């Protein structure tokens, strides 16, 4: 059975927490892009902006370990960015340069309220990750003081 020393345990915990911070930061960047383009009716492809969302995946830290705790630990990462092809609302605005012959404009499929809720959730998850890293640093410091 493989044992893990205290420093390996702390570094493993830091790796897990850091992966969460990276994933949440990436998620917040995508949300910011969605919010910034909430009124973009014509992108480079000539179509309205389509919201994007991350695809997250859990990755095993040490799947081959004899230690059941190490085998169960996972990091998280963004493995893909998926475009939401749900059509956006049609808004009547005959003066808009992107209006169709009937005067309707296809708007982006970004719901600002939903994006703000997603942003708050990602922000809270990021804060939780920072708190866990601070706790790990405090525990490592206390362990070093005990060894003196």
Is residue 147, in this structure, part of any structural domain at all? no
> Of 43, 40, 58, 35, nearest to 116 (Cα)?
35
Nearest-angstrom CA–CA distance, 2 and 19: 24
Is residue 148, in this structure, part of any structural domain at all? no
For 73-91, letters b (16+ CB in 10 Å) and e give bebbebeeeeeeeeebeee
- Whose structure tokens read 């009716």? 41
Is residue 1, in this structure, part of any structural domain at all? no
Is residue 55, in this structure, part of any structural domain at all? yes
Measured N-to-C along each axis, helices 6-36 and 112-146 cross at an angle, to the nearest 10 degrees, of: 160
The total of structural domains in the chain comes to 1
Is residue 112, in this structure, part of any structural domain at all? yes
pLDDT for residue 8: 57
Residue 64 has pLDDT above 50, yes or no: yes
- Answer for the pair 57, 76: CB distance below 8 angstroms, yes or no: yes
- Answer for the pair 41, 102: CB distance below 8 angstroms, yes or no: no
Between residues 109 and 11, the one the model is more confident about:
109
Residue 112 has pLDDT above 90, yes or no: yes
Is residue 87, in this structure, part of any structural domain at all? yes
Look over the chain and give the mean of its residue pLDDT values, rounded to a whole number.
Answer: 90
Confidence band, pLDDT 50/70/90 cuts, at residue 77:
very high
Cite the beta strand spans of 11-127 per DSSP E. 52-60, 74-83, 90-92, 104-106
Structural domain of residue 105, as residue ranges? Answer: 6-142
Nearest-angstrom CA–CA distance, 120 and 38: 17
Confidence band, pLDDT 50/70/90 cuts, at residue 4:
very low
């Amino acid at each position: 059975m493989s044992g893990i020393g205290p420093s390996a345990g702390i570094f493993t915990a830091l790796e897990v927490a850091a992966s969460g911070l990276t994933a949440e930061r990436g998620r917040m960047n995508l949300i910011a892009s969605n919010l910034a383009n909430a009124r973009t009716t014509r992108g480079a492809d000539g179509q309205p902006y389509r919201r994007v969302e991350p695809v997250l995946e859990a990755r095993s830290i040490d799947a081959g370990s004899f230690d059941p705790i190490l085998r169960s630990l996972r990091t998280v990462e963004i493995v893909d960015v998926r475009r939401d092809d749900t059509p956006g609302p049609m808004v009547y605005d005959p003066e808009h340069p992107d209006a169709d012959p009937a005067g309707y404009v296809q708007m982006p499929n970004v719901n600002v309220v939903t994006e703000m809720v997603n942003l708050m959730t990602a922000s809270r998850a990021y804060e939780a990750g920072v708190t866990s890293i601070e706790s790990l640093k405090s525990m490592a410091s206390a362990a070093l003081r005990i060894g003196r």
